[in-house]
Structures are given as structure tokens and as C-alpha cells.
Amino acid sequence: MTEKRSMLAAVYHGPQDLRVERIPVPQIGPDELLLQVKSASICGTDLRIFHGGHRMFPAGTVRVPGHEVVGVISSLGSEVDGLAIGQTVFIAPNMGCGHCQQCISGNNNRCASYQALGVTIDGGFAEYMRVPAAAIKGGNVMPIKSETVDPAVAALIEPFACVLRGQDVLNIRPGETVLVIGAGPIGIMHAKLAQLRGAGKVLVSETNPERAAQALTLGADRVINPALEDLSAVITEESGGMGVDVIIVAAPAHAAQEAALQYAAIGGRINFFGGLPKDRSSINFDSNLVHYKELLVTATTACSTSDCRRSAQIISTGKVDLSSLISRRFPLTAALPAFAAAEDRKSLKVVLEP
Ligand SMILES: [Zn+2]
Ligand SMILES: [Zn+2]
């Protein structure tokens, strides 16, 4: 393939200022590769970036976002082995330093000096993306069978890896009752994974009627709209008065985090999966509920490259089908309408296909 000198990209210039423009095709070093992007999905993190609310995008940052990326290797540095031009690959976005305690224990998302494609360096909302040596050496480049897996679905390896990490700490046992609060794409993935883990019943709480309806066809056993129904009463009914064993709060809502402590069964486990707004991150935490019910209250953030490996395995073998989460596809030239669609709460996953 002859390399173009310039390429189309959606570039962040400041809050609400995302511009589709031509920028130079990235140059690669001998230990790097150039990816021709096939599919890059828009996630909540990208919306936070777009609105200027991401801590890695301080004033003055000009950068290409996009961290859920699948593409084809279009050129390869001379020192890279084990990969080939033309291969379809998913790129795990997080790169740790490789030698700190967190990195060597397989938690490179916790590394104090981490880099991430689409977050600290240019990502995949572009025709081409440079994949640095740290990502190649760190095992972030994961070949995908493009004949059997839609690249748009393969791009969901990253968010699904975050969901996997979130449920690892909850240890859902077959037969247990699970409540997922929030039926956005992440909430739906949590419901699907809880079913795969053998949950006896998966309840989903969602106030948006369209999302609530989708959740019922996408993995929930029962969907409750707390604006119309008494969620606490439904939980009592569905759990025989015991409360739910596992609660995942997949909505950035103070009230939902506080209520989770009430809804949990004795010995229940809770994951505060969604972060709260950075300027208002405190909640009323009833410590006695945690004490007397012996609750485990925890949280997870992002995902490691190791989580992405397992996620890639699950998605490429079809153990979990995420194709119904892809609501809309846009060309890169329509990045702005794509961001608007990602925000309208009607769509689940919105994908850019350069
Ligand atoms: Zn994401
Ligand atoms: Zn590290």
C-alpha cells in the first residue's frame, strides 16, 4: 500500500471543539506499526473528553481520541516480528511502564506512568493510527479473525474487558441474583456477562424507556423503571425478601450508589463501576449497612491488557454476542453527528468507520 501524506482525523481542539480535518499520516519508527483503522467505537470516556471533562485533556490539548480500535496493519517497522502486513488486529489501549509492581502483576491500567492510545497519545478516530513500541512489546496487538468477527464488534473488546474486570472482583456464583443499575452499553454487557457466569436472575434498573426496552431483549430477566415502579419493592419480591447478592452500579448516579447498600443481601457484593462527576464525587455512605450485612463494596476502573486478552477470547469465540449493541455506524467525516448520536441515549454503541 502506498502511504498517503495526509489523512482524515477527528481532532480534539478544546471542549465541544472536535474538528474533522486533514493531518499528516503518522510516521513510524523501526519498532512500531501503522494501523489502517477499520472501526473505532465511541465510549463514555470520549464524550467526557469532548466536553472537556477528562483529566488527561487539560486546556491546550490537541489530540485524536479513540481507544476502542480495530484495524489492518498497513506498515510494519523492520524490527517488529510476529505480526504481518494485512492482519486485522484489535489494539488494547493501555500501556504501562512495564516494570512497576502494578505492571508486573498484570494490572497495567493501574500503572502510575501509564500511556493510553486515544487518551494520552493520538488514537483511532483517524484513517491511520501509530501503534508505539510499548504497545507491541506489551502484547496489546491482538489478531482477530476478520472473516468471523465484525471489526465493529471486535472494537468492543475494550469495554467488555472493563466489564470482565468489574465482575472478576464480584465472583458471581451460579444461581445468584444480580442487579445492574443502568442499561447503557456497559450495563447491557454486565447483564450478558452475568448470564454467562450463571446468575439465577439478572435484574436491570433503567429510567430511560427506550434503553429499558432494549435491556429486556438483550440479557435482562426483568427490567425495572424506578421512575414508574418501586425498585425496592421489586427487589423484595424477586429475592424473597433477601436482597440481591451482587449489584453493579453502571450509572454515574449518587442516589444509585447509596441505594445499592440498601438493596444488597447479607454478604452482598457491590461494584461502583461508573465514576461520579469529578467536582461532586462524595456520597452518603451508610457504614452500618456495610458493617452489619458484611458487604463488600468495591470498584474497578478501565482494564488491563490481560483483561483484553480474555475479552478477545470470549468475543471471538462468540460466547457472548455483542453484535446487537452496535446501533449506528458513521464515516469519519460524520464524526460530529456520530458523537451526538452516542449521546442521545437512544443508541447503544456508535461506531466510526474511516
Ligand atoms: Zn472505552
Ligand atoms: Zn508500570
Is the domain defined by 170-298 classed in CATH 3.40.50.720?
yes
Ligand 2 centre to CA of 280 (Å) is: 29
User: 107 C-alpha to center of ligand 2: Å?
Assistant: 8
Residue 157 CA: which ligand is closest?
Answer: 1
The alpha carbon of 283 and the centre of ligand 1 are apart by a number of angstroms equal to 25
String of DSSP letters for 131-171: E-HHHHHTT-EEE--TTTS-HHHHTTHHHHHHHHHHHHTT-
**Interval between CA 47 and ligand 1 midpoint (Å):** 10
The whole-number mean pLDDT for each consecutive block of 10 residues of the chain, a chain of 354 residues, reads 78 97 97 98 94 92 98 98 97 95 95 95 98 96 93 97 98 97 97 97 96 94 96 97 98 95 98 89 96 98 95 94 95 98 92 96
- Alpha-helical segments (H) within the chain: 44-50, 101-104, 133-137, 151-154, 157-168, 185-196, 209-217, 231-238, 254-263, 287-293, 305-316, 335-343
Say if residues 181 and 190 touch (Cβ distance below 8 Å). no
Q: From CA 70, how far away is CA 50, in angstroms rounded?
A: 21
Task: Give 206 Cα–ligand 1 centroid separation in angstroms.
Answer: 21
Nearest ligand for residue 156 CA? 1
Cα 195 to ligand 2 centre (Å)? 34
Find the 141 Cα to ligand 2 centroid distance in Å.
Answer: 18
Which residues, 6 or more positions from 34, have their beta carbon under 8 angstroms from its beta carbon? 3, 25, 26, 28, 73, 74, 75, 76, 128, 129, 130, 131
Ligand 2 center to 133 CA (angstroms): 15
CATH number for domain 6-158+303-352, candidates 3.30.300.30, 3.90.1150.10, 3.90.180.10, 3.40.50.2000? 3.90.180.10
Instruction: Please state the domain extents for the chain.
Output: 6-158+303-352, 170-298
Ligand with minimal distance to 43 CA: 1
Which ligand is closest in space to the CA of residue 134? 2
pTM of the model: 0.94
pLDDT confidence of residue 277: 83
Check residue 1 and give its pLDDT.
47
Q: What is the distance in A from the centroid of ligand 2 to the CA of 132?
A: 16
Question: 106 C-alpha vs ligand 2 centroid, how far in Å?
Answer: 9
